[in-house]
Amino acid sequence: MTYANISIEDLPTDQADRVVKIIKISGQLDESNVDEQSKTIYQLIEANPKNLYLIFNFAELEYLNSKAIGYLTDWYGKISAEGGKIAIAMAKDNITDILSVVGLTQLITCYLTLDEAKLGIMQ
Amino acid sequence: MPNNPQTAPVKITITLPTNAYFLSGIRDFTITMTKNVTGFSDQWAFRFQSVVDELCNNAIEHGSVSGQEIKITFLSVPQKELEIMVEDSGTGPNKYTATQMREVFEKQKKIVQNQFLGLRGRGLAKIVAEWTDELIFEDREGGGLRVRAIKYLHPEDSVLAVNTQNQPQTASIILQPVHA
């Protein structure tokens, strides 16, 4: 199985109605691991159904395939329908390129830095 | 390479078991091969790794049962074009003929044109379609499907164009004898 790892960090916020988390994904999301890895995010969404704010830190993400993009789109749909938001930070050029070609950058904003993503998502 | 571009065609064929485990190796190979042989830029090396990965996933998912093989062929005419060909065995439970595959592809292409929120269907209809100039579906003799994705090297996609943009237009090298 191709290496991939997901770690989740809480981001403190003074807005009590919001749950804000940074999801760091490293390695490669491909056909061999993406179904298994995506369960972590679905569990997170189930545990926080309302006002969930997720910043995906893609600094160490090397590759993602079309199925991973499908999951990302699905998370966007579920979270934004319940008052939450999704942002992407620090994606490598090849990751931004593929997100752009499928049109996902029109739905989810990609920020160059984590700080910009934090500011952007909390607005 | 930019000073002495290779021009003779290069053909590389790889046969893989129908297991997604092996695809990371093929993706790495695609990047290395594109950078060293084809004349395409680094951006295209990453794009081709996605094209190969998506074509192989389709072949494994639809065209070949577990325990069978898929065949990947790279045909590079350096500084001109790259063809990526993926063949399945036609033993998969969801196999398509070339005509059926073309119909599925054209239908899906229309679906993903607008803001598409579905879970599946971007691989061939969006990623492969956007990053190739020609996509050809063929029935193989003896069963199975052959998908040929061809990309022509346009001047703006060339490693030479990128190098010209990023490097100084002039450079001086001074060689001096070394005195003991």
Closest Cβ–Cβ partner in A28, A76, A97 for B46: A97
What residues make up the domain containing A92? 4-122
Residues from chain B contacting residue A76 (CB–CB below 8 Å):
117
According to the model, what pLDDT value does residue A67 have? Answer: 96
Say whether residue B131 is in contact with chain A using an 8 A CB cutoff: yes
Predicted confidence band at B179 (pLDDT cuts at 50, 70, 90)? low
Number of folded domains in chain A? 1
Tell me which amino acid residue B131 is: W
According to the model, what pLDDT value does residue B142 have? Answer: 86
Q: How large is the average pLDDT for residues A64-78?
A: 96
Predicted confidence band at A66 (pLDDT cuts at 50, 70, 90)? very high
pLDDT per position as a tens digit, A92-107: 999 999 999 999 999 9
According to the model, what pLDDT value does residue B121 have? Answer: 87
According to the model, what pLDDT value does residue A27 have? Answer: 98
Question: For chain B, what's the residue count?
Answer: 180
Q: Which CATH number is A108's domain given?
A: 3.30.750.24
Distance CA B104, CA B108 (A): 6
Distance CA A66, CA A70 (A): 6
Q: Which residues contact B64 (CB under 8 A, 6 or more apart)?
A: B18, B70, B88, B89, B90, B91, B92, B144
pTM across the whole model? 0.90
According to the model, what pLDDT value does residue B91 have? Answer: 85
pLDDT per position as a tens digit, A112-121: 999 999 999 9
Residues from chain B contacting residue A35 (CB–CB below 8 Å):
none
Closest Cβ–Cβ partner in B20, B43, B122 for A102: B122
Comparison of pLDDT for B61 and A97, the residue scoring more: A97
Predicted confidence band at B178 (pLDDT cuts at 50, 70, 90)? low
From residue A34, alpha-carbon distances to B81, B131, B135, B156 in Å are 32, 23, 27, 34
B150 φ, ψ (degrees, to nearest 5): -115, 130
Residues above pLDDT 70, as percent of chain A: 100
Matching CATH number, B10-159, of 3.30.565.10, 3.90.420.10, 1.10.287.110, 3.30.420.10:
3.30.565.10
Best CA proximity match to B50, nearest among A30, A42, A18: A30
DSSP chain A: ---EEEEEEE---S-TT-EEEEEEEEEEE-TTTHHHHHHHHHHHHHH--SSEEEEEE-TTEEEE-HHHHHHHHHHHHHHHHTT-EEEEES--HHHHHHHHHTTGGGTSEEESSHHHHHHHHH-
Report CB contact under 8 Å: B50, A93. Answer: no
Best CA proximity match to A61, nearest among A6, A116, A117: A6
Predicted confidence band at B118 (pLDDT cuts at 50, 70, 90)? confident
A106: which 2 tokens?
A: 């029109």
According to the model, what pLDDT value does residue B162 have? Answer: 64
A73: which 2 tokens?
A: 């789109």
Best CA proximity match to B52, nearest among B27, B15, B25, B17: B27
Sheet order of strands, B10-17 included? B10-17, B69-77, B81-87, B145-152, B134-139
Contacts of B98-106 with CB under 8 Å at 24 or more apart are B98/B137, B98/B138, B98/B139, B98/B145, B98/B146, B99/B137, B101/B137, B101/B145, B101/B147, B102/B137, B105/B129, B105/B135, B105/B137
pLDDT per position as a tens digit, B154-173: 999 998 876 555 444 444 44
Report CB contact under 8 Å: A107, B115. Answer: yes
